[in-house]
Amino acid sequence: MVFASLEFLTLFLPLFLLVYAAVPASWRNAVLMFSSWIFYGWWSPLLLLLFIALILVGWIGGMAIDNTRTERQRMLMLTAFIAINLSVLCWYKYANILVETFNQVLAWSGAMPVPWQKIALPIGLSFIVLQSISYLIDVQRRVVPADRSLVNFGAYQAMFVHLIAGPIIRYDWVARELRERTVDWPQFTQGARRFMIGFGMKALIADTLSPLVQTAFSLSAPTFVDAWLGCFAYSLQLFFDFAGYSAMAIGLGLMLGFHFPENFNHPYLAASIQDFWRRWHLSLSSWLRDYLYIPLGGNRKGEVRTYVNLLLTMAIAGLWHGGDNWNYLLWGIAHGLALAGTRLWGHASLPEPPAVLSRVLTLLFVMLAWTLFRAHSFGSALDMYAGQFGLNGYALGDALRVQLRPAHLMAMVLGVLCIVYPAVDAWLARGGRPALLRAWDGAWPVAGFLLGFSLIASRGAVPFLYFQF
C-alpha cells in the first residue's frame, strides 16, 4: 500500500483519521503505532515481525545506554546496538549484490557459482535503520533521554506518515509532540493542502513520466536525443516522486499534529554542488553531516583529511541508497569528488563562474550523475553516456518515438514550470500578491489532487522510487 493508491485514499486513511479523531488524546500514539503496523504489514505480514523487532531493539537499546553510567560502557553499548541495526540492513541490502559479485568472480575462474535465492528488501528499511541509529547516538550524547514508553517510541519509529521514504525524523524533533500535541482544523487543512500538492507531484508528473524513463533506460544503443530525453525525464520523475512523497508525509504529519522539517528546497535551482546538497533530501544531508562527516573529523583535521571525509561520507551515502548494483556507490563517489573539487577550486582562489553558468553546470552534473543512479548496471550506464555524447547518432530513435505521447511532454513542461515557479512567484510577490494569484493558490492543489486521483483510478498506483530503500 502506498499513499498514491486507491486502498490508502479510500480505505486506510479515512478509517484511520476517524479512529484517531475519536479516541482520547492519550490513546492516539497507540492508534498511530498499531495503524502503522497494519500499514506495513499490508505489504508483507512476515516482515512486519522484523519491523517490530527493530523497534524493540531501538527501544531497549536506548534504555540500556541511558542506564549505563561510564562513558566507555555507554560507547560499547551504543556500538553493540548500532551493529545490530547495521547487520540487518547489510544482510537485506547487500547480500544479493555480494553473492552476485562473488559468483561472477567464480565464473571468470571457471568455478561453479554459489546457489542463491535472492532476498527481498523490506520496504523503508534504510529509513528505519537511520532513524534508530540517530536516536541511539542522541541518547548516548545525552541530547535526548531514553523514551521509557514503548508506545511512544513505537509511534515515533513506526509512524506510517514518513515510514517508507522519509523525511528521516530525529527523535528530538518530535519528542515534545509525542507527549502532547494539538490537532485543530486550521492545521489539519494546511496539512491536507500539502498532502494534495505532493499527491499531484507524484501522480501528474512522476508517474506520467515513468513509462518514458523505463523505455529510455532499457535501450542498448540510445541516440543523443534518446539519452538526454530519458535523463531529463528521469531527473523530473525522481524529484517529483521523492519530493512529492515528502510533501505528502509533511502534510499527513500536520494533519496528526506533528511538524516535520522540509526535505527539499528547490534543489534544481542550486548554484553549486554544495548548494545542491543543502537543498536535496535535507534530512539525509543533515544526518550524514551530524552522524558521519563530523564524527569522522569533518574539516577540523586538515585539508587532505577533509577531502577524504567528503569522499568517504558520499561513498557511504551511495551505498546506503542501494545494493542491487555498484552504480549507487559510484554515484556517491562522483558526488564526493565534485564536492571536493568545488572546495579545492574555492581554496585555490580561482575566479567564480557567472551565476547562470554555475547553475547550469551544477544541474548538468547532477543529471549526468542521475544517469548512473538510474541505470540497471554499469554497462547500461555506459550505453546511456555513449548516447549523451552522440556516439550512436542524434535523431530520436524508433522505440522512444513509439512511446512518446503528448502527456509525457505536458508532464515535462509542467515539471519545469513547477521548478521555476518559486523564483517567478517571488518576483510577482514583490508588490503584493494579486487577488487572482491568491485564489489560484487555494484552487490548484485541489484541482491537481482530483486529476491525479482520476489518473490512478484508471491506470493503477505506481510504487514510489524510494519504496524499497
Residues designated as active site: 321
Residue 391 β-bridge partners = 393
Please tell me what DSSP assigns to residue 122. Answer: P
E strands, 89-235, in order: none
- Asked if residues 59 and 154 have their Cβ atoms less than 8 Å apart, the reply is yes
Which helix (H) or strand (E) covers residue 111, if one does? none
Contact in structure between 172 and 424 (CB atoms under 8 Å): no
Is the bond into 261 cis (omega within 30 degrees of 0)?
A: no
Rounded CA-CA distance 406/325 in Å is 33
- Hey, which residues does 393 pair with through a beta bridge? 391
Query: Counting Cβ atoms within 10 Å, is residue 318 exposed (0-12), middle (13-18) or buried (19+)?
Result: buried
Q: What angle do CA 243, 240, 421 make, to 5 degrees?
A: 95
The C-alpha cell of 311 is what?
569522499
Give dist(CA 341, CA 380) in Å, integer.
Answer: 27
Burial profile 190-204: b = 16 or more Cβ within 10 angstroms, e = fewer: ebbbbbbbbbbbbbb
**Could you give the count of Cα atoms lying within 13 Å of 197 in the half-sphere of its Cβ?**
17
Using H for helix, E for strand and C for coil, what is the string for 379-424? HHHHHHHHHHCCECECCCCHHHHHHCCHHHHHHHHHHHHHHHHHHH
* Cβ-contact 251, 195 below 8 angstroms: yes
